[in-house]
Amino acid sequence: MATPYSVKLFSGSQSKYLAEKISYYYGKSLGSVTLQKFSDGELSPSFDESVRGCDVFLIQSTFPPADNMMELLLMVDAARRASAKYVTIVIPYFGYARQDRKDKPRVSIAAKLVANLFSASGADRLMTCDLHAGQIQGFFDFPVDHLDGSAIFVPYLRSLNLDNLLFASPDVGGVSRARAFARHFQADIVVCDKHRKRANEIASMQVIGDVEGANVVLVDDLIDTGGTICKAAEIILEKGAKSVRAICTHPIMSNKSYENIENSVLQELVVSDTIPLKQHTSKIKVLTVAELFSKAIRNVHDHESISSLFINLNH
């Protein structure tokens, strides 16, 4: 049963391209927000319409720079102080998620810190997609709707009608993600075991499993420099695979990533639009998460389950 208070959708300045598509699928125009910037770069967002008693959804991915996150925090605070009834932060790409534990001495657990910041700002709920690690949901003291990118990737893979399909994880940490896809397609998986000298630099990699004659799909939650994916694709093809393509939900795409992808042996890189591409190449295909998020927003507002939006990868 629908709630008696109205829904209002607003976008941060850097995710308007996606928020406009979400609002289109939802059937409601984006609300008006003004973002003032002081001469020193300080941000001051303000709502140009009343949000009193409304169910407010604030849409902004928190990719770099950190201004994107700060803008969203200020928007939450502004909505709270303007007497919004309920504030949901819609963060298609949740930044700082890669720092989710202490993997060496004297480092920050940034994902927990960011969760604390959003709690302190007054947010009531988080809606996001393909967190780097699912357990990050536990860092929040309010409900988290963790949407699954498979909802857009599985139908696309089905449309390719690939025979002898095989799924691969570019590292040991992503095995469960690849295994879920493999289980759904009743396919096998292989694992690329990598060793790093330092961040974004691979020292060595080996493939665990047989890829001979297979159409291989590498599965990951994000792609940064593209080094791991490109190296894995190269080794898999050398081992006798028929083709290699990759699925990565969040296209961070830093440094020479576009050049790396274009010059790689990948047939294609399939990504979502949680982060805007800085440039387009013939090998990158973008699928939108807008309809998925619009349906999730409607179900949350109507107090209905969002599990119906997931593709069951366990069968």
CB atoms inside a 10 Å sphere around CB 175: 17
Residue 215 pLDDT: 98
CATH number of 150-287: 3.40.50.2020
CATH number of 7-147+290-309: 3.40.50.2020
Instruction: Report which of 79, 248, 268, 251 is spatially closest to residue 178, judged by C-alpha positions.
Output: 248
| 51: three-class secondary structure by DSSP | coil
Residue 3 pLDDT: 44
Q: DSSP secondary structure string, 223-268?
A: ESSSHHHHHHHHHHHHTT-SEEEEEEEEE---TTHHHHHHTSS-S-
Instruction: Report which of 268, 229, 234 is spatially closest to residue 252, judged by C-alpha positions.
Output: 229
**For 70-83, how does the pLDDT look when each residue is reduced to its tens digit (9 = 90+)?**
999 999 999 999 99
Residue 238 pLDDT: 94
Is the N-terminal amide bond of 155 cis, ω within 30° of 0?
A: no
Tokens linked to 307: 């599990």
Tokens linked to 163: 């025979």
**For 41-50, how does the pLDDT look when each residue is reduced to its tens digit (9 = 90+)?**
999 999 999 9
Report which residue type is found at 140: F
**CA distances in angstroms from 290 to 79, 80, 165, 256, 303, listed in the order given:** 23, 25, 28, 28, 20
Dihedral sign for Cα atoms in the order 228, 232, 235, 237: negative
> Which portions of the chain are predicted below pLDDT 50?
1-3
Question: Rounded to an integer, what distance in angstroms lies between the CA atom of residue 27 and that of residue 277?
Answer: 25
Domains 7-147+290-309 and 150-287 share a fold: yes
Residue 171 pLDDT: 85
Question: Rounded to an integer, what distance in angstroms lies between the CA atom of residue 272 and that of residue 153?
Answer: 9
Residue 285 pLDDT: 97
Question: Rounded to an integer, what distance in angstroms lies between the CA atom of residue 111 and that of residue 117?
Answer: 10
Question: Rounded to an integer, what distance in angstroms lies between the CA atom of residue 28 and that of residue 301?
Answer: 14
Residue 193 pLDDT: 84
Q: What are phi and psi of 131, to 5 degrees?
A: -60, 150
Catalytic residue among 194, 239, 242, 283: 194
Domain boundaries, the chain: 7-147+290-309, 150-287
Report which residue type is found at 7: V
Residue 206 pLDDT: 87
Residue 95 pLDDT: 96
pTM confidence score: 0.93
Residues 250, 128, 3, CA angle at the centre, nearest 5°? Answer: 150
Residue 195 pLDDT: 67
CB atoms inside a 10 Å sphere around CB 170: 28
| 77: three-class secondary structure by DSSP | helix
Verify whether residue 194 is a known catalytic residue.
yes
Instruction: Report which of 290, 296, 297 is spatially closest to residue 309, judged by C-alpha positions.
Output: 296
Question: Rounded to an integer, what distance in angstroms lies between the CA atom of residue 241 and that of residue 124?
Answer: 47
